[in-house]
């Protein structure tokens, strides 16, 4: 490109710079050409552009909030050690001033004063824009508030659910804690004494088909326990389970082994044997369903389970 061509191109780019329409590539090109082509006339486009901009600019009075904002920067301006005031040094707009300005403008707008009315109209437009901004902020805040309320509601629901789970777990822990001593005794009786009898329960009628479990008994200690699973929960006001111990050496009639209830459907239930009389050589253990409180002699109308040697 000739010297004239290069100058013409730079002149065009420089005009584009002042017009603010340089593309990214043109900016690069301008930067390459500027060191050689810039002259004492380089600022002329800037001045012409500024004059054209100012030509039809009708000064628009500043809102009081903006004046405050600008004036608040003056201490920073006068501090020569600071090269540029940061936004943190600038006092924000006092919120009510915008509303006060709008109210004043409304009053001012009613005055019949020629050009003044035009200027006040501009102020009014600014105040309206300010009010619009505030209205938008309020709408946004209300929207955020609704979102928070919804979130809070969801969290409360989740919290209630989790609290329910925790309560259930606590109940379970309490029950297990309650069962623990019996379990320990059950295990202890099995492990420590070789002469402990251990018999398996089998269901004795269809309604109790899924039942399983065992009974352990120690003659010397006169102590024994039942371990039962899948035995139906009973209503103590209607009927109760009763254990019978068959000991032919003692009597032909079974000995009462105690009345008990099943309160939980799931899990292993440990029931201590509460024999009314001393037992010598038990050969069988029978569970029946009886009236509340049990009976002295069972009619064996409902035989639940049987364990025999």
As beta bridge partners, residue 260 has 241
The answer to whether residue 56 forms part of the interface with other proteins (CB under 8 A) is: yes
The answer to whether residue 4 forms part of the interface with other proteins (CB under 8 A) is: no
Q: Using the rule CB under 8 A, which residue among 7, 9, 15, 202 binds other proteins?
A: 15
Q: Are 201 and 211 in contact (CB under 8 A)?
A: yes
Q: Are 309 and 202 in contact (CB under 8 A)?
A: no
Closest distance to other proteins from the beta carbon of 9 (Å): 11
Closest distance to other proteins from the beta carbon of 159 (Å): 39
Closest distance to other proteins from the beta carbon of 144 (Å): 18
Which residue lies nearer to other proteins by CB, 78 or 191?
A: 78
The answer to whether residue 24 forms part of the interface with other proteins (CB under 8 A) is: yes
Closest distance to other proteins from the beta carbon of 143 (Å): 19
Distance CA 13, CA 263 (A): 93
The answer to whether residue 61 forms part of the interface with other proteins (CB under 8 A) is: yes
Angle between helices 115-192 and 95-109 (to 10 degrees): 150
Q: Using the rule CB under 8 A, which residue among 1, 5, 58, 297 binds other proteins?
A: 58
Q: Which of residues 177-196 bind other proteins (CB under 8 A)?
A: none
Q: Using the rule CB under 8 A, which residue among 9, 33, 37, 108 binds other proteins?
A: 108
Give me the phi and psi of 271, to 5 degrees please: -115, 125
Distance CA 16, CA 35 (A): 17
Q: Which stretch binds other proteins (CB under 8 A): 26-34, 166-174, 200-208, 240-248?
A: 26-34
Q: Using the rule CB under 8 A, which residue among 6, 62, 140, 143 binds other proteins?
A: 62
Between the two ends of the chain, the Cα-to-Cα distance in Å is 117
Q: Using the rule CB under 8 A, which residue among 67, 151, 160, 232 binds other proteins?
A: 67
Q: Going residue by residue from 81 to 100, which x/- string records binding to other proteins, judged by CB under 8 A?
A: --xxx-x--x---------x
The answer to whether residue 103 forms part of the interface with other proteins (CB under 8 A) is: yes
3-state helix, strand, coil in the chain (%, to 5): 50, 15, 35
Q: Going residue by residue from 127 to 156, which x/- string records binding to other proteins, judged by CB under 8 A?
A: --xx--x-----------------------
Burial of 29 from C-beta contacts in 10 A (0-12 / 13-18 / 19+):
middle
The answer to whether residue 19 forms part of the interface with other proteins (CB under 8 A) is: yes
Q: Using the rule CB under 8 A, which residue among 6, 32, 36, 77 binds other proteins?
A: 77
Distance CA 231, CA 234 (A): 9
Distance CA 216, CA 205 (A): 22
Please tell me the count of residues contacting other proteins according to CB under 8 A: 77
- SS3 of 199, please? strand
Q: Where are the beta strands (DSSP E) in 183-235?
A: 197-200, 202-203, 212-218, 223-229
Closest distance to other proteins from the beta carbon of 95 (Å): 13
The answer to whether residue 30 forms part of the interface with other proteins (CB under 8 A) is: yes
Q: What is the largest CA-CA distance in the chain?
A: 134
- SS3 of 227, please? strand
The answer to whether residue 35 forms part of the interface with other proteins (CB under 8 A) is: no
């Amino acid at each position: 490109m000739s010297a004239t061509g290069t100058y013409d191109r730079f002149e065009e780019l420089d005009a584009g710079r002042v017009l603010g329409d340089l593309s990214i590539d043109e900016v690069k090109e301008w930067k390459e050409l500027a060191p050689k082509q810039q002259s004492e006339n380089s600022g002329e486009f800037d001045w012409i552009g500024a004059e054209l901009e100012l030509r039809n600019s009708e000064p628009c009075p500043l809102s009081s909030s903006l004046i405050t904002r600008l004036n608040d920067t003056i201490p920073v301006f006068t501090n020569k050690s600071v090269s540029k005031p940061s936004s943190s040094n600038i006092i924000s707009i006092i919120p009510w001033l915008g509303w006060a300005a709008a109210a004043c403008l409304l009053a001012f707008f009613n005055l019949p004063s020629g050009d003044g009315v035009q200027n006040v109209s501009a102020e009014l437009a600014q105040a309206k824009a300010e009010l619009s901004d505030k209205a938008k902020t309020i709408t946004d805040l209300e929207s955020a508030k609704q979102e928070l309320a919804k979130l809070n509601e969801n969290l409360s629901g989740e919290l209630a659910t989790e609290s329910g789970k925790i309560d259930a777990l606590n109940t379970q822990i309490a029950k297990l804690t309650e069962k623990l001593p019996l379990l320990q005794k059950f295990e202890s009786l099995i492990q420590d004494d070789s002469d402990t009898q251990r018999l398996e329960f089998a269901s004795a009628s269809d309604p109790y088909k899924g039942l399983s479990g065992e009974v352990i008994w120690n003659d010397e200690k006169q102590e024994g326990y039942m371990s039962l699973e899948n035995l139906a929960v009973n209503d103590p006001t209607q009927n109760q389970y009763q254990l019978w111990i068959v000991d032919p050496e003692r009597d032909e009639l079974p000995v009462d082994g105690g009345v008990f209830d099943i309160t939980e459907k799931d899990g292993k239930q440990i029931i201590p044997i509460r024999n009314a009389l001393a037992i010598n050589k038990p050969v069988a253990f029978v569970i029946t369903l009886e009236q509340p409180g049990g009976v002295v002699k069972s009619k064996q109308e409902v035989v639940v389970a049987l364990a025999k040697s």
